[in-house]
């Protein structure tokens, strides 16, 4: 891990967009393993975003592609009417979310790829994904995916250039699902303890251009104290194992990620500022 800058943290103001929401209020249970107050710390109220850069690798067309991967974490205000960042702070349907944007651009022999993944969590519950969108662009075409929480599970809307998955929607049953793409954020809120183990259902990564039905695993989590870092192993099954390390001090920044499918991250720098200005 090189040039890791110690961090403080942040929050932000907002803007808007139009789209109706299908999400309803859900009561969140307490968690034995996750701290649901993790994002309620006042450091997220300073009007800035945490911008972390990682040396990244991803396997595409059978080769490892190296690139700079940016993870942006910031507090925003949503409104229930459109389920997006609000432009009107006088509305009576506002609620706070934490946004995690993951941006990647890398080259292949023929053309570049661009990925932007946006994940949103109600501030008081990092465990439950509230909404996720993902876009992928390369010279063959565009792919868009959106997952929105409903009372019975997640509604999945997609549009891609692949035959059979060009434009449609499907449902994923269950509101207690974790998502592989949320783990870099969610695991920061663990009630870290050496030897802690638990099991959760985990949806496979959506950071790709595929729009097929996601796979869901009965994953096993194990936390260990590695002296200078917390280490978390996530075994989706016997052959698909991901490993993460986190800072021991709050806000427990992700230091590294190594996945079974070759999407790896190593922190190079982190800073807090208003990137939108």
Using one digit for the tens of pLDDT, what is the confidence trace for 9-61? 333 333 333 333 344 444 455 799 999 999 999 999 999 999 999 999 999 99
Within a domain: 173: yes
Please say if the pLDDT value at position 267 is more than 50.
yes
Is 177 within a domain? yes
At 268, the pLDDT band (50, 70, 90 cuts) reads: very high
Query: What tokens appear for 239 in the block?
Result: 């052959």
State the Cα–Cα distance between residues 227 and 236, nearest whole angstrom: 25
pLDDT at 30: 74
Q: In total, how many domains does the chain have? A: 1
Higher pLDDT, 151 or 12: 151
Does residue 3 or residue 223 have the better pLDDT?
223
How far is Cα of residue 21 from the mean position of the Cα atoms in its chain? 20
Within a domain: 11:
no
In a domain, 16, yes or no: no
pLDDT at 201: 98
- Residue 230 above 70 pLDDT? yes
Which pLDDT belongs to residue 164? 83
Mean local confidence (pLDDT), 247-275: 97
d(CA 74, CA 98): 6
pLDDT, tens only, 55-103: 999 999 999 999 999 999 999 999 999 999 989 999 999 999 999 999 9
User: Domain range for residue 137?
Assistant: 38-273
Q: Is residue 8 part of a domain?
A: no
Structural domain contains residue 31: no
Residue 123's pLDDT band (cuts 50, 70, 90): very high
**% of the chain with per-residue pLDDT over 90:** 85
Share of the chain above pLDDT 70, in %: 90
- Mean pLDDT score of the chain: 90
CA nearest neighbour of 124 among 35, 9, 251: 35
pLDDT of residue 28: 52
24 within some domain:
no
pLDDT of 208 higher than 80: yes
In a domain, 18, yes or no: no
Kindly write down the DSSP assignment for every residue of 77-143, as one continuous string: EEETTTTEE-S-TT-S-EEEEEEEEEEEEEE-SS-EEEEEEEEEEETT-TTSEEEEEEEEEETTEEE
């Amino acid at each position: 891990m090189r040039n890791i800058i110690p961090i403080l943290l942040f929050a932000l103001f907002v803007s808007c967009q139009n789209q109706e929401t299908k999400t309803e209020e859900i009561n969140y249970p307490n968690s034995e393993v996750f701290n649901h107050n993790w994002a309620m710390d006042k450091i997220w109220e300073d009007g800035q975003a945490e911008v972390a850069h990682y040396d990244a690798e991803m396997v595409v067309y059978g080769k490892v592609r190296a690139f700079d991967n940016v993870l942006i974490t910031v507090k925003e205000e949503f409104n229930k009417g459109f389920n997006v960042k609000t432009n009107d702070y006088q509305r009576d349907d506002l609620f706070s979310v934490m946004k995690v944007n993951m941006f990647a651009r890398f080259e292949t022999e023929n053309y570049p790829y661009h990925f932007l993944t946006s994940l949103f969590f109600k501030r008081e519950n990092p465990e439950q994904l509230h909404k996720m969108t993902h876009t992928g662009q390369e010279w063959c075409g565009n792919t868009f995916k959106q997952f929105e929480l409903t009372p019975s599970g997640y509604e999945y809307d997609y549009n891609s250039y692949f035959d059979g998955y060009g434009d449609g929607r499907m449902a994923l049953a269950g509101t207690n699902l974790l998502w592989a793409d949320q783990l870099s954020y969610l695991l920061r809120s663990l009630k870290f303890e050496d030897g802690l183990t638990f099991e959760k259902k985990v949806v496979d990564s959506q950071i790709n251009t595929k729009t097929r039905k996601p796979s869901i695993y009965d994953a096993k989590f194990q936390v260990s104290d590695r002296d200078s870092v917390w280490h978390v192993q996530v075994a989706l099954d016997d052959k698909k194992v991901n490993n993460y390390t986190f800072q021991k001090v709050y806000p427990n920044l992700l230091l590294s990620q190594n996945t079974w499918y070759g999407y790896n991250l190593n922190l190079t720098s982190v800073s807090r500022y208003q990137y939108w200005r």
